Amino acid sequence: MKVLLTLWLCLLTGIAWAGDAVTIESEQVTVDHLHSQAEFKGGVHLVRGNFDLRCDRLLAYYQNNELQRAEAFGRVRMQQGDKRGAAKHATYNKKDELLILVGKASVEDSDGVIRGEKIIHNIKTEHTQVMQGNGGRVRMRIESEDSVGKKP
């Protein structure tokens, strides 16, 4: 049975994410109020505005009723608008509005795909930075109008 949690400011765990409601769905949740931490396991799905995150396990750390940091583990997939990303592990930092994808990381949209070992995506500005990939190189494919829909 899936557990559906809609987190508005102080509801249940006290997690809030600057103005937008956060919805997290998972098979299991454990809340540690003493350490201001919540752990979601099994088919985790987080939505905030137009940002969507899916993973196997999510750890959320909060302070004073606000989410400070979140870590996603296992088959991490994210989407914001037409931009999609994937990795083995991801970290979200509220202060900087950064989502860091690590381990076979990729971000793609209709214009192409970027792959590297580490990708830093700014949720607010939608800017992306890619760090060293396999063999110390970053790979980027840019689609032309003629190649859209064709396999490389």
Tell me the pTM.
0.72
Q: How many CA atoms lie within 13 A of 87 on its CB side?
A: 28
Whole-number pLDDT of residue 133? 63
**How sure is the predictor about 80, in pLDDT bands with cuts at 50, 70 and 90?**
confident
Is 149 inside any structural domain?
no
Nearest to 51 by CA among 118, 124, 114, 103: 124
3-17, 37-51, 138-152, range with the lowest pLDDT: 3-17
Residues of the chain with pLDDT > 70, as a percent, come to 78
Is 152 inside any structural domain?
no
Is 80 exceeded by the pLDDT of residue 22?
no
Is 80 exceeded by the pLDDT of residue 14?
no
Number of domains, the chain = 1
CATH of the domain at 75: 2.60.450.10
Is 113 inside any structural domain?
yes
Is 82 inside any structural domain?
yes
Whole-number pLDDT of residue 97? 83
Domain enclosing residue 21, as ranges: 3-142
Query: Is 23:46 a contact under the CB 8 Å cutoff?
Result: yes
Is 124 inside any structural domain?
yes
Is 87 inside any structural domain?
yes
Is 63 inside any structural domain?
yes
Is 147 inside any structural domain?
no
Mean pLDDT of the chain: 77
Rounded CA separation 105/87 (Å): 4
Whole-number pLDDT of residue 2? 27
Whole-number pLDDT of residue 74? 96
Report the pLDDT averaged over residues 63-86.
87
Q: What secondary structure letter does DSSP report for 81? A: T
pLDDT in tens, 93-147: 888 888 888 998 888 888 888 888 898 878 788 787 888 866 677 767 777 766 5
Interior/surface letters 45-72, b for 16+ CB within 10 angstroms, e for the rest: bbbbeebebbbbbbebbbeeeebeebbb
Is 70 exceeded by the pLDDT of residue 53?
yes
